[in-house]
Amino acid sequence: MENQVLLSVKNLKKYYEISQGMFKEKIVVRAVDDVNFTVMKGETFALVGESGCGKSTTGRAILRLTEPTDGEVIFNGTNLALLPYEKMRSLRKHMQMVFQDPYASLNPKKSIRQILMEPLKVHSKFDKKESLQKVISILQIVGLSEYHLDRYPHEFSGGQRQRIGIARAMILQPDFIIADEPVSALDVSVQSQVINLMLELQKEFGLTYLFISHDLSVIQHMTDRVAVMYLGKIVEIAKTEDLFNNPKHPYTQALLSAVPITHPKEKKERIILKGDVPSPANPPSGCTFHPRCPFAMEICKSELPDQARFEEGHTVNCHLYSQNKEEINYAISHS
Amino acid sequence: MEKILQVKDLRIQFNNGKENIQPIRGVYFHVNKGETLGIVGESGCGKSVTSLSVMGLLPQKTSEIVSGEILFNDRDLSRLTEREFRKLRGNEISMIFQEPMTSLNPVFTIGKQLSEPLRQHKKMSKSKIRETIIAVLKQVGLPRAEQIIDEYPHQLSGGMRQRVMISLALLCQPKLMIADEPTTALDVTIQAQILELLKNIKRKNDMSLILITHDLSVVAEMCDRVVVMYAGEVVEEAEVNELFDQPLHPYTQGLIQSLPSNNKRKSKLFSIQGQVPKPSEIKEGCVFANRCPFVFGKCLTETPPSFQKGKHISKCWLQDPEEMEVKRIGESSTVIS
Amino acid sequence: MTVDFPKVPHTTKIRNVRKNRQSAITTFFLNLMRSWTGIIGFIIILILLLISIFGQWIVPFDPLLADFSKKLLPPMTGGHLLGTDQLGRDIFSRIIMGAKISVIIGLSTVLIAGTFGTIVGIISGYFRGWVDVVLMRIVDVQLSFPFILLVLVINAIIGSGLRNIIISLAIGGWVIFARVIRSEVLALREQEFITACVATGVSKFGILFKHILPNLFTPIIILSSLQIGTYIIAEASVSFLGFGVQPPEPAWGNMLNEGKDYIFSSWWLITFPGIAIMITALGVNLFGDWLRDTLDTELKGE
Amino acid sequence: MLDFIIKRLIQVVVVVLLALTVVFFLIRLSGDPTALFLPPDASREQIEEYREMLGFDRPIYIQYGEFMVNAVQGDFGQSLRSKEDALPLVLSRLPATFQLAISALILSLLIAIPLGVLSAYKRNSVFDRISVALTVLGQAVPSFWLGLILIYFFAAQLNILPSGGAGSIVHLILPMITLAAYSVARFTRFTRSTMLDVLRKDYIRTAKASGVPTIRLVGRYALKNSLIPIITLVALDLGTLLGGAVITEVVFAWPGVGRLLMQSLMNRDFPIVLAGVFIVALIYAVINFIADILYAYVNPQIRVK
């Protein structure tokens, strides 16, 4: 089971066109721009980045909740990006999604029974009686009970709704779940309950997660490998522990250093980035990070960096690592 | 130490047309001159309502301060008229809100909005006002201050808007600034910028800061002292190091322990069971009793008073000297309220 | 790697927890009781419906029977509560019968315009593409022409009468439904719970019929109730101008039309039918407003 | 901004052409057009002659093309009754309609905006309750009936104002009030609810937190925010106002486009109807166009782009 590729994303792109009126050229927003990564069976792979970096769009494009502009999404050997709608629809039982906002992602007019029965009905997995048994058992698994069957979403608290959202994703026994900021709308004390639930479910059912989040402490806690995104591109991929111990990309370094301390006595060296994230409609030339990068060199302004590979699958897209070593050392020591 | 703000036994009642609810039930805390006080709690714990009451910004028709005092420099704010309050707001006390995207008026320029507190509280000529605004905009680290003053909010990013909000709060050099979740809507790297800015500004302007947040790491980063609120009550108050080293209330303990960074990677996180009770569900006894791992008989029947140990206050029966079977040691352990 | 769900013993009885919930009707009345205006609107509508159903049995006089010996009697004379008109017909009886016409016109127009507009709105909003572009252009064009004038012109061209005034009003009125329903559908499409359905694998039609349609119910009800008042007033205006429902049918609008020539001598001819229109429109509007306020807050949760 | 204006202008043209097309076909499809154009007692020969003369024997698309080509040039034919040219006749009535509609619009805005603002400012006060009740009532009163009642009181009973006709400012008073009544109710209500919405916004709280007094908050700040939706509504409602003008003109025998249109509809004088439809659609489209530009002016988010 280990080291088997479940999902591989190749050159995935999602561009949005914004019309500017008749006489101006359309603006192309490159929400996801040439993203590559693979997810192994049974692991938790994280996409991390700040708002607008394209991590959610990547997740949605993989499941074709938004149609990708270009690229391949190979899931268990099938290229999802090319599947006709109906084929894709029947494949969806193997891959599910948990959404950020548990309030918005449940239909307010449907009872919990209806919400949870629907996936089973759609994929006609079981007869009615069996389905109900499944629904009840999944409710118990996520920490609710059959007592809640005929209630409506607005009768639940945020944490409970997210449990229902997870139950809906789990009921078809998928192999793969994309969780898009599943805990960021929740309070701290409820957050830990939901993280625990997700960890338990993974252990019990051998699930693979694609975990999308901006919260680095949650990512550090529960994921195996991380891809860091900036302006629609992946800048670094590494094992979680590697990434947190030895971040290589200047953006990753800044991002990690910005994570708030967890104890007042902790002292932290901060790399405070200049300015704001540029608009993906008008990204900087060359390496998109160069205007904010403390180590920016001439080459960064004009050329897109290649991927540099390190041990254990740690990859970085940065000119610092494609140049010769001396220059790197120079740049780092003079920062 | 001089106390700039004292809140005593504050009780606030809301009427939603159907029933009365009390989201704030007897809140005590104070702010010392020059310090940063953190108020932490989860959504619905009453931390924002408390801060709005200090600003006199509670909805007039549907809410009411039932009892208590809010002493600002020994003046009771809870009895001020709207006119008196107005002279205070933006002048001696100012506030920064959570949502920088919606907190600025979309149809007025930045300069127009920033000129308002100066117009209201200071007698200044137009050119002097403009000068002051540009100076403050520069102080909060906005580039191109001379241009930004004539721009509209939608032309700025979230981080820049929050800087504008801070400069708005700063204009009249208030003695007390209240920041209600100032970085919650922002990205981590921007959050780091804004927190740094708040620290510098507080130091330079010699003011006190109340920082309202749900995020313990923001507290660890910024605060001198912390008040922990739960379901409309203050359950614990301590100096920041003390709170993180030795939290006394089981709720605070749970919050700190459930931080992912305080747990082994991939292990089950510590978590507080159950949910916050709704205001209508609160009965006799301790508000945290239904979720508390150490709950015992007395917790369900009697509301605990605040037990004080030095500067560390906690509202939990476990701290009752009798319950702890610890003999009272002179003055170091007294019961207030 | 199939992991089975834990077995649930078959003896587990599925309890129905509906017992402690209020039925829809109870909720309706409980909400109604909270609003004075809602109650007034509801009562007016109830009375209106009752007299339009049972009107023909409760009228004191034949509303069509002319009697020149009794023409232009003031109110409260000769047993005529609201007086008689220029042909000696009992105004009270005519107003009662007019209620029926107003109700028929209001309801059938809303039914036709609502159904057609809703279908167009759904097609436009859900399937988008060129169909949407074409349909919305049509709606734009029609909306760029005053409603009442459009109804007048259409009615003048296709001819008067009850059926034709309903058709004219429906042709004039469907666009509002199309516009509103389309924007509702567009908003719903963007809702996360619809994305969640796609992610679950629900088919396009499943999403439309099981998830979008039920959520359109509320806006359709609200819009319909608010539109009925518009239709009733529009019909009265058209009839007043001499189109629409023709004499001797006792529509409130044409009663006013006939009465306006006697404005200097007999005030009651123009007074009572107008009051009838006003009270009806008031009732429908009040009820519609109340419906919107309660259903809207219900939508938003607590 | 420029291509926004051009885009909207094209839209105006399309709207007007389509409106004409629809009315043209409605008239043609509703029966033998010749019969419509002639008095009912016309003889068979007369009908045939007329049909040929007007070109109704030709295929409908040719007729349509010809009609549109002529219409674009402003030629809608002659009135079947008075034999006057249709478009100039309609245009000659336009000033009267404008006078009525614009004075009613100004009157309603002058009453409604202060009333709505005050109502919102003093929410739930006696004043507010009365104003809300009046607006609800005002929206339920059919304008033609209000006109009749006003005539009854001021012309028939008090005899201080004329019951109809035009000429002096006194002739304008009753029609103006009649036409404005519905708009006053609607605008007041809308201003009030928009103001209440705006007053709940975060940025109002911000202004309050900077010590802005409530009066200034309402009058200076919230009002400008509310203007955007109010302008939108007023623009949308101008159609209703124009439609109402038709009815009001008939009630008060006001010599405007509406009354002419009504008479022509009664007389089945279709060249005039078509010319009238053309003018009304054009006016309405142009008003909407102006409103859009005004809207862009008030809303910096559109303007700055």
* Chain segment C204-255, per-residue pLDDT in tens: 889 999 999 989 988 998 899 889 999 999 999 999 988 888 888 888 998 9
Q: What is the pLDDT of residues A192-201, one digit of tens each?
A: 989 999 999 9
| pTM, 2 dp | 0.83
Give me the mean pLDDT over the D280-285 stretch.
82
Q: Tell me, what's the pLDDT at C235?
A: 93
Q: Is residue C2 part of a domain?
A: no
* Sign of the four-CA dihedral C115, C118, C124, C127: negative
Q: Minimal Cα distance from B88: which residue of D? A: D211
Q: How far apart are CA D254 and CA D151, in angstroms?
A: 13
CB atoms < 10 A from the CB of A289, how many?
26
Whats the size of chain C, residue-wise?
A: 302
Q: Do C144 and D19 touch (CB under 8 A)?
A: yes
Side by side, which strands form the sheet with A70-75? A27-40, A5-18, A70-75, A78-79
Q: Do A205 and C214 touch (CB under 8 A)?
A: no
Band (pLDDT 50/70/90 cuts) for residue B337 is very low
Q: Tell me, what's the pLDDT at C11?
A: 31
| Structure-token pair, residue B333 | 């352990």
| Residue A193 CA neighbour count, 13 Å, CB half | 20
- CATH number reported for the structural domain that contains residue D154 in this entry: 1.10.3720.10
The answer to whether residue D188 scores a pLDDT higher than 70 is yes
Q: Tell me, what's the pLDDT at C160?
A: 85
Closest-CA residue to D255 (of D148, D102, D99): D99
Closest-CA residue to B118 (of B103, B105, B137): B137
Decide if D41 touches A, using CB distance below 8 A: no
| Structure-token pair, residue B30 | 């104070």
Residue type, B214: H
- Range with the poorest average pLDDT among B270-274, C133-137, D38-42: D38-42
Q: Are residues D153 and D117 in the same domain?
A: yes
Q: Is residue D83 part of a domain?
A: no
Residues of the domain holding D53: 1-75+268-305
Q: Is residue C166 part of a domain?
A: yes
Q: What is the pLDDT of residues C102-150, one digit of tens each?
A: 999 999 999 999 999 999 999 999 988 888 888 888 887 787 778 888 8
Q: Minimal Cα distance from B164: which residue of D? A: D206
Q: Long-range contacts of range C201-204, CB-CB < 8 Å, 24 or more positions apart?
A: C201/A89, C201/A90, C201/A92, C201/A93, C201/A119, C201/A122, C201/A123, C202/A118, C202/A122, C203/A86, C203/A89, C203/A122, C204/A85
Alpha helices in chain C (DSSP H): 24-33, 36-58, 91-127, 129-143, 147-158, 162-189, 192-200, 204-206, 213-240, 252-259, 268-299
Q: How far apart are CA C185 and CA C198, in angstroms?
A: 16
Choices 1.10.630.10, 3.40.109.10, 3.40.50.1370, 3.40.50.300: CATH for A5-231: 3.40.50.300
Closest-CA residue to A102 (of A201, A215, A191, A182): A182
B neighbours by CB contacts (3+ pairs under 8 Å): A, D
Q: Which of D15, D136, D144 sits opposite C240 (nearest CB)?
A: D144
Residue B303 has phi, psi (to 5 degrees) of -75, 125
Residue B9 has phi, psi (to 5 degrees) of 45, 45
Q: Tell me, what's the pLDDT at B227?
A: 95
Q: Minimal Cα distance from A23: which residue of D? A: D3
Q: What is the pLDDT of residues A1-48, one digit of tens each?
A: 457 899 999 999 999 887 765 566 778 888 999 999 999 999 999 999
Q: Is residue D200 part of a domain?
A: yes
Task: Tell me the sheet residues that pair with B3.
Answer: B32
Q: Minimal Cα distance from D198: which residue of B? A: B105
**Extended beta strands in B18-135, E state:** 20-32, 36-40, 63-72, 75-76, 93-96
Q: Is residue D95 part of a domain?
A: no
Q: Which chain B residues in 164-223 lie under 8 Å from chain D, judged by CB atoms?
A: 165, 168-169, 171
Q: How far apart are CA D184 and CA A81, in angstroms?
A: 57
Q: What is the pLDDT of residues A135-167, one digit of tens each?
A: 999 999 898 888 889 888 988 888 899 999 999
Closest-CA residue to B176 (of B88, B279, B248): B88
Q: Is residue C10 part of a domain?
A: no
Band (pLDDT 50/70/90 cuts) for residue C17 is very low
Could you give the dihedral angle defined by the CA atoms of residues B263, B267, B269 and B274, in that order, rounded to the nearest 10 degrees?
-160
Q: Minimal Cα distance from D28: which residue of C? A: C157
| Mean pLDDT, chain B, integer | 87
Q: Do A276 and B160 touch (CB under 8 A)?
A: yes
Q: What is the largest CA-CA distance in chain A?
A: 70
Q: How far apart are CA A318 and CA A251, in angstroms?
A: 10
Q: Is residue C16 part of a domain?
A: no
Is there a contact between A229 and A58 (Cβ–Cβ < 8 Å)? yes
Q: Do C299 and A108 touch (CB under 8 A)?
A: yes
Contacts of residue A90, defined as CB under 8 A and 6 or more positions apart, other chains included, come to A123, C201
Residues of chain A with CATH 3.40.50.300: 5-231
In angstroms, what separates the C-alpha of A242 from chain C's closest C-alpha?
A: 30
Q: Tell me, what's the pLDDT at C116?
A: 96
Domains contained in chain C, number: 1
Task: Tell me the sheet residues that pair with A13.
Answer: A33, A70
Closest-CA residue to B240 (of B72, B9, B39, B54): B39
Q: Do C1 and A141 touch (CB under 8 A)?
A: no
Domains contained in chain D, number: 2
Q: Which chain A residues in 3-32 lie under 8 Å from chain D, judged by CB atoms?
A: 21-24
Residue A212 has phi, psi (to 5 degrees) of -100, 125
Q: Minimal Cα distance from D10: which residue of A? A: A22
Band (pLDDT 50/70/90 cuts) for residue D32 is low
Q: What is the pLDDT of residues A169-186, one digit of tens each?
A: 999 999 999 999 999 888
Decide if A1 touches C, using CB distance below 8 A: yes
Q: Are residues D65 and D143 in the same domain?
A: no
| Structure-token pair, residue B112 | 């127009």
The answer to whether residue B27 scores a pLDDT higher than 60 is yes
Q: What is the pLDDT of residues D73-93, one digit of tens each?
A: 888 888 777 788 889 999 999
Q: Is D81 exposed, middle or buried (0-12, 13-18, 19+ CB in 10 A)?
A: middle
Q: Tell me, what's the pLDDT at C302?
A: 34
Q: Do D211 and B90 touch (CB under 8 A)?
A: yes
- B vs D, Cβ pairs < 8 A, gives 82
Q: Is residue C116 part of a domain?
A: yes
More reliable by pLDDT, A311 or B243? B243
Q: Which helix (H) or strand (E) holds A30?
A: strand A27-40
Q: What is the pLDDT of residues A262-311, one digit of tens each?
A: 888 888 888 888 777 888 888 898 899 999 998 888 888 888 898 888 88
Band (pLDDT 50/70/90 cuts) for residue D195 is very high
Q: Tell me, what's the pLDDT at A97?
A: 94
Q: Which residues of A touch C14 (CB under 8 A)?
A: 132, 136, 146, 149
Give me the mean pLDDT over the C197-210 stretch.
90
Q: What is the pLDDT of residues C22-56, one digit of tens each?
A: 566 777 777 777 788 889 999 999 999 999 999 88
Q: Do C192 and A105 touch (CB under 8 A)?
A: yes
Q: Are residues D177 and D51 in the same domain?
A: no
Residue type, C31: N
Is there a contact between A152 and A111 (Cβ–Cβ < 8 Å)? yes
Is there a contact between C91 and C271 (Cβ–Cβ < 8 Å)? no
Band (pLDDT 50/70/90 cuts) for residue B333 is very low
Q: Are residues D59 and D164 in the same domain?
A: no
Give me the mean pLDDT over the A259-264 stretch.
84
Q: How far is CA D283 from CA A231, B92, C146, in A?
A: 48, 55, 11
Band (pLDDT 50/70/90 cuts) for residue A248 is very high
Q: Which residues of C touch D261 (CB under 8 A)?
A: 149
Q: Do B102 and D214 touch (CB under 8 A)?
A: no
Residue type, B148: I
SS3 of D78, please?
Answer: strand
More reliable by pLDDT, B310 or B236? B236
Q: Tell me, what's the pLDDT at D305?
A: 40
Q: Do D210 and B57 touch (CB under 8 A)?
A: no
Q: Long-range contacts of range B321-330, CB-CB < 8 Å, 24 or more positions apart?
A: B323/B298
Q: Tell me, what's the pLDDT at D146?
A: 93
Decide if D4 touches A, using CB distance below 8 A: yes
Q: Strands A44-48, A70-75: parallel, antiparallel or unpaired by DSSP?
A: unpaired
Cis peptide before C250 (omega within 30 of 0): no
Q: Do B191 and A260 touch (CB under 8 A)?
A: yes
- CATH number reported for the structural domain that contains residue C293 in this entry: 1.10.3720.10
Q: Tell me, what's the pLDDT at D12?
A: 79
Q: How far apart are CA C203 and CA A90, in angstroms?
A: 10
Q: What is the pLDDT of residues A47-100, one digit of tens each?
A: 999 888 899 999 999 999 999 999 999 999 999 988 998 899 989 999 999 998
* Sign of the four-CA dihedral B237, B243, B249, B253: positive
Q: Which chain A residues in 153-172 lie under 8 Å from chain C, judged by CB atoms?
A: 154, 165, 168, 172
Q: How far apart are CA B63 and CA A147, in angstroms?
A: 36
Q: Tell me, what's the pLDDT at B328?
A: 40
Q: Which residues of D touch C147 (CB under 8 A)?
A: 239-240, 243
Q: Which residues of D touch C264 (CB under 8 A)?
A: 156
Band (pLDDT 50/70/90 cuts) for residue D292 is confident
Q: Are residues D251 and D136 in the same domain?
A: yes
Residue type, A209: Y
Is there a contact between B42 and B277 (Cβ–Cβ < 8 Å)? no
Decide if D203 touches B, using CB distance below 8 A: yes
Q: Are residues D111 and D248 in the same domain?
A: yes
The answer to whether residue A332 scores a pLDDT higher than 60 is no
Q: Which residues of D touch B86 (CB under 8 A)?
A: 211-213
Residue type, B190: I
* Sign of the four-CA dihedral B233, B239, B240, B241: negative
In angstroms, what separates the C-alpha of D15 from chain C's closest C-alpha?
A: 5
Is there a contact between B216 and B240 (Cβ–Cβ < 8 Å)? no
Q: Is residue C12 part of a domain?
A: no
Give me the mean pLDDT over the B175-181 stretch.
94
Q: Tell me, what's the pLDDT at A163?
A: 92
Q: How far apart are CA A7 and CA B312, in angstroms?
A: 53
Closest-CA residue to C241 (of D24, D245, D29): D245
Residue type, B26: G
Q: Is residue C289 part of a domain?
A: yes
Q: Which residues of B touch D208 (CB under 8 A)?
A: 57, 89
- A vs B, Cβ pairs < 8 A, gives 119
Q: Tell me, what's the pLDDT at A328?
A: 54
Q: Which residues of A touch B221 (CB under 8 A)?
A: 260-261, 264
Task: Tell me the sheet residues that pair with A208.
Answer: A176
| Mean pLDDT, chain C, integer | 84
Q: Which chain B residues in 299-328 lie under 8 Å from chain A, judged by CB atoms?
A: none
